[in-house]
């Protein structure tokens, strides 16, 4: 059975979705850089081992990442799942676990990398927004894309309303991407991810719909 380590910094809603998904895998640990992250208690209640590697205890990003990497490696994970982990990882860390780190980003990458994606989407007047699951590479928010989900941006949306609709899709597509990984259905070639066997395509999503 494959082993998963989940990294969080806060409430860990995507972590909770993964824990509830009844995956054919062992959730070996939930690790946070934030000792007060609410998700740690959720993980403990689910009887998952938890660890804290507090970035404030280290003089620089490199030393923190090395300690974090060693902590993760002790669990021998097949996959590392970033679930609201609010740290930019060093290239050394990413190379150590190359092809084994997944992240979910709240935009339709390559649009709106970085922070404040929902506000930026509204300000730019886009009609479709969403989320992207991708493998992590040293290029921030530009790793090979596994799956995306789109939602319409409505005329009366604010950041919170839009974020809530996107988050619902995050929970669905992240667990799907992880299942594909566990079933050995994902192959990375360059900056593209190929999904083996049959898959369904829903056609075009148009927003707003013409009258």
| Tokens, residue 176 | 């799907």
Q: Nearest CA to 77 among 42, 25, 145? A: 25
Q: What pLDDT, on a 0 to 100 scale, did the predictor assign at position 205? A: 78
Question: What domains sit in the chain, N to C, each tagged with a CATH number?
Answer: 1-97 (3.40.50.170), 103-206 (3.40.50.170)
191-204: pLDDT as tens digits: 999 998 767 777 77
Q: What pLDDT, on a 0 to 100 scale, did the predictor assign at position 132? A: 97
Catalytic residues: 105
| Tokens, residue 121 | 């989407």
Q: What pLDDT, on a 0 to 100 scale, did the predictor assign at position 211? A: 63
Q: What pLDDT, on a 0 to 100 scale, did the predictor assign at position 199? A: 72
Q: What pLDDT, on a 0 to 100 scale, did the predictor assign at position 62? A: 97
In the chain, which residues have pLDDT < 70?
198, 210-211
3-state percent helix, strand, coil for the chain, nearest multiple of 5 = 35, 25, 45
């Amino acid at each position: 059975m494959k082993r998963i380590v989940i990294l969080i910094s806060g409430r860990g809603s995507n972590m909770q979705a993964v824990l509830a998904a009844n995956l054919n895998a062992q959730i070996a640990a939930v690790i946070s850089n934030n000792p007060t992250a609410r998700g740690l208690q959720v993980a403990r209640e689910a009887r998952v081992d938890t660890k804290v590697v507090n970035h404030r205890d280290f003089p620089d990003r490199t030393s923190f990442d090395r300690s974090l990497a060693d902590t993760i490696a002790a669990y021998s994970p097949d996959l590392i799942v970033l679930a609201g982990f609010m740290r930019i990882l060093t290239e050394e860390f990413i190379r150590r676990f190359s092809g084994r780190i997944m992240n979910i980003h709240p935009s339709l990458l390559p649009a709106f990398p970085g922070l404040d994606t929902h506000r930026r989407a509204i300000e730019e007047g886009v009609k479709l927004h969403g989320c992207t699951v991708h493998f992590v590479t040293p290029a921030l928010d530009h790793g090979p894309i596994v799956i995306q989900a789109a939602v319409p941006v409505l005329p009366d949306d604010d950041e919170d309303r839009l974020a809530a609709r996107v988050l619902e899709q995050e929970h669905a597509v992240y667990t799907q991407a992880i299942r594909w990984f566990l079933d050995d259905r994902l192959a990375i070639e360059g900056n593209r991810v190929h999904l083996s066997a049959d898959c369904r395509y829903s056609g075009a999503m148009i927003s707003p719909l013409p009258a």
